[in-house]
């Protein structure tokens, strides 16, 4: 039986500084991250000892050296937040990793909380740059100079599931799901064929089917084997093909449907042969076809559109849940998935309130009609970028929210609550509450551990290998009777 889907996203944001001729993205990112004011001012290390990015799910260790920053660099590049999230500098981008969530509704709240955290830190950081300069941050996937940065999804899976089966059953799903997960993009990059507007910002940048790398020769299936949990029990599937989305229904469907498909793969519920003959080519072809009618070649001789491929998965999902219980969020995801596919098939423009690439296309086309611009106009490219601006007063997505022209999944209060509070049903709760209560005594943090500084005693690392422990139900009584860090550690080690 499939394990419960613990999930999260890691969003890399685009950053620039207006009027800064000596713009250095790394130092700007460091400034941005350190400007954020969380509920704790503790200087906490990120525990890189617990990470192994060179482990490959195909059963070997890749060549290379693991980079571990020194203590000062570690502190300046990393913040672990009281909501259980991680906010940090990743290469030349600010990145926000949500806390672990067990359902996609919580995931939407926490990903949108990340946007709010980035904006608040941007405001604080702008007070520290010269008057003529201004830091701008975009939740998008390309700097238009050939560089792409991603939104990575993470899903916990049963380690006994064959990785070969994951590759075979999951690639056709990932290639075809972009018809409802794409963020939309004017033009193309990375030597892809010319196009006025396409569905996905990321598809032009994928060049192989399966690999460990995430920046060079990007693969559709990433093989990183770093579970951040009990290695004997779990696999963390690191999905790197996602666009960074603004629209809440798009985020909701993207990760919600994916979690369902992965459970089905674990339970052997996908027996239909849907293998695509050339998935890298198909990924670009589907993205470049906003009519969603392009057929791609399958190995079995059939040709199907992306919508038809998704309908195959949907049909299998209906059969899967015919004999299983589904919670309310899962049922809602399936209903929305079916509705979106139906409307995509009839006319994608029906999704102008829900799906990012359609919302943005309609916004740009309305602008072009008013101004008599063409797709290759620089102003049109600026409208594309402005859709992803995280500033509430400037971002075009935020304008549509204020005008009530896009659908919502969560409320502003839900998002505000997620800025300061972790999910209650994963180990993120224990992590976040420890930061709130004992932050000054925390030495280091990783997803599966917390290390405490007990004054004259050695550093004490508490392992959290089970993501479904450390919940409010599990630890609230423990926290309530632990008035100090020493009491907490003594109570933990006594249990």
Query: Can you spell out the DSSP letters for 324-342?
Result: S---HHHHHHHHHHHHHHH
**495 confidence band (pLDDT: 50, 70, 90):** low
β-strand 219-222 against 208-211: which pairing, if any? parallel
Neighbour tally for 91: CB within 10 Å: 12
Enter the CATH code of domain 7-359+383-418: 3.30.590
Catalytic residue among 49, 90, 158, 332: 90
Angstrom distance (rounded) from CA 80 to CA 43: 9
Please name the helix (run of DSSP H) or strand (run of DSSP E) that holds residue 90, with its range, or none: strand 86-90
Angstrom distance (rounded) from CA 371 to CA 71: 54
Kindly report whether the global pTM for this prediction surpasses the value 0.85.
yes
pLDDT at residue 74 greater than cutoff 90: yes
Residue 259 is predicted with a pLDDT of 98
What are phi and psi for residue 298, nearest 5 degrees?
-95, 160
Place of tokens 């599937």: 237
Q: Range with the lowest mean pLDDT among 47-61, 316-330, 438-452, 480-494?
A: 47-61
Instruction: Report which of residues 450 and 60 the model is more confident about.
Output: 450
Residue 233 is predicted with a pLDDT of 97
Residue 297 is predicted with a pLDDT of 98
Q: What is the pLDDT of residues 162-206, one digit of tens each?
A: 999 999 999 999 999 999 999 999 999 999 999 999 999 999 999
Percent with pLDDT over 90 in the chain: 89
Retrieve residue 403's tokens: 């005008």
Residue 54 is predicted with a pLDDT of 80
Angstrom distance (rounded) from CA 459 to CA 68: 19
Contact 418, 109 (CB under 8 A): yes
3-state secondary structure of 142: strand
Q: How far is CA 142 from the centre of its chain?
A: 16
Place of tokens 């010319």: 194
Neighbour tally for 29: CB within 10 Å: 24
Retrieve residue 23's tokens: 């713009």
Q: Range with the lowest mean pLDDT among 64-78, 90-104, 184-198?
A: 64-78
pLDDT at residue 39 greater than cutoff 80: no
Residue 456 is predicted with a pLDDT of 82
Residue 23 is predicted with a pLDDT of 94
Please name the helix (run of DSSP H) or strand (run of DSSP E) that holds residue 158, with its range, or none: strand 151-158
Phi-psi region of 114 (alpha: psi -120 to 50; beta: other; left: phi over 0): alpha
Cα separation of the two ends of the chain:
30
Name the average pLDDT for the chain.
95
Q: What is the pLDDT of residues 104-159, one digit of tens each?
A: 999 999 999 999 999 999 999 999 999 899 999 999 999 888 889 999 999 999 99
Arithmetic mean of pLDDT, 427-438? 97
DSSP 298: B
> According to CATH, where is 3.30.590 located in the chain?
7-359+383-418
Q: Range with the lowest mean pLDDT among 55-69, 223-237, 266-280, 426-440?
A: 55-69
Angstrom distance (rounded) from CA 84 to CA 419: 9
Q: Range with the lowest mean pLDDT among 40-49, 231-240, 266-275, 294-303?
A: 40-49
Residue 58 is predicted with a pLDDT of 85
Give whole-number Cα distances, 269 to 158, 189, 259, in Å. Answer: 15, 37, 14
Residue 382 is predicted with a pLDDT of 97
Q: Which long-range contacts (CB under 8 A, 24 or more apart) does 432-436 make?
A: 432/81, 432/82, 432/83, 432/84, 432/99, 433/475, 433/479, 434/488, 435/39, 435/40, 435/42, 435/44, 435/80, 435/81, 435/82, 436/39, 436/40, 436/82
pLDDT at residue 215 greater than cutoff 80: no
Contact 80, 41 (CB under 8 A): no
pLDDT at residue 373 greater than cutoff 90: yes
Q: For this structure, is 289 an active site residue?
A: no
Residue 69 is predicted with a pLDDT of 86
Residue 59 is predicted with a pLDDT of 78
Contact 97, 10 (CB under 8 A): yes
């Amino acid at each position: 039986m499939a394990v419960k889907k613990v999930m999260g996203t890691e969003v890399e944001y685009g950053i620039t500084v207006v009027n800064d001729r000596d713009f250095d993205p790394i130092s700007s990112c460091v400034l941005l991250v350190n400007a954020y004011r969380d509920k704790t001012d503790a200087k906490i290390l990120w525990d890189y000892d617990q990470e192994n990015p060179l482990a490959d799910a195909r059963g070997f260790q890749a060549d290379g050296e693991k980079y571990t920053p020194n203590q000062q660099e570690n502190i300046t590049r990393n913040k672990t937040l009281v909501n259980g999230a991680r906010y940090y500098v990743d290469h030349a981008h600010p990145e926000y990793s949500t806390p672990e969530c067990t359902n996609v509704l919580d995931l939407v709240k926490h990903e949108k909380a990340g946007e709010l955290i980035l904006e608040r830190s941007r405001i604080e950081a702008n007070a520290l740059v010269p008057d003529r300069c201004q830091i701008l941050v975009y939740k998008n996937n390309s700097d238009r100079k050939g560089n792409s940065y991603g939104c990575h999804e993470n899903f916990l899976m049963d380690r006994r599931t064959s990785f070969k089966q994951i590759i075979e059953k999951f690639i056709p799903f990932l290639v075809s799901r972009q018809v409802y997960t794409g963020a939309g993009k004017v033009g193309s990059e990375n030597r892809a064929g010319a196009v006025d507007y396409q569905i996905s910002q990321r598809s032009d940048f994928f060049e192989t089917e399966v690999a460990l790398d995430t920046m060079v020769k990007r693969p559709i299936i990433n093989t990183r084997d770093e579970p951040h949990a009990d290695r004997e029990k779990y696999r963390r599937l690191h999905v790197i093909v996602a666009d960074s989305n603004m629209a809440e229904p798009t985020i909701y469907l993207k990760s919600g449907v994916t979690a369902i498909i992965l459970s089905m793969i674990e339970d052997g519920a996908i027996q239909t042969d849907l293998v695509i003959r050339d998935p890298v080519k198909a990924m670009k072809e589907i993205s470049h076809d906003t009519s969603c009618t392009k057929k791609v070649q399958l190995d079995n001789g059939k040709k199907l559109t992306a919508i038809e491929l998704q309908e195959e998965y949907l049909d299998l999902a209906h059969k899967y849940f015919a004999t299983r219980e589904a919670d309310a969020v899962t049922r809602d995801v399936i209903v929305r998935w079916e509705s979106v596919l139906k409307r995509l098939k009839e006319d994608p423009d029906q999704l102008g309130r829900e799906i990012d690439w359609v919302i943005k296309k309609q916004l740009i086309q309305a602008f072009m009609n008013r101004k008599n611009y063409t797709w290759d106009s620089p102003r049109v490219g600026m409208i594309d970028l402005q859709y992803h601006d995280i500033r509430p007063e400037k971002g075009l997505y935020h304008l549509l929210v204020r005008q009530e022209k896009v659908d919502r999944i969560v409320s502003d209060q839900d998002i505000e609550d997620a800025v300061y509070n972790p999910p209650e049903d994963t180990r993120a709760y224990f992590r976040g509450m420890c930061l709130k209560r004992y932050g000054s005594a925390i030495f280091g943090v990783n997803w599966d551990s917390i290390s405490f500084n007990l004054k004259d005693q050695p550093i004490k690392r508490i392992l959290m290998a089970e993501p479904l422990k450390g919940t409010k139900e599990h630890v609230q009584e423990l926290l309530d009777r632990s008035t100090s860090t020493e009491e907490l550690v003594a109570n933990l080690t006594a249990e």
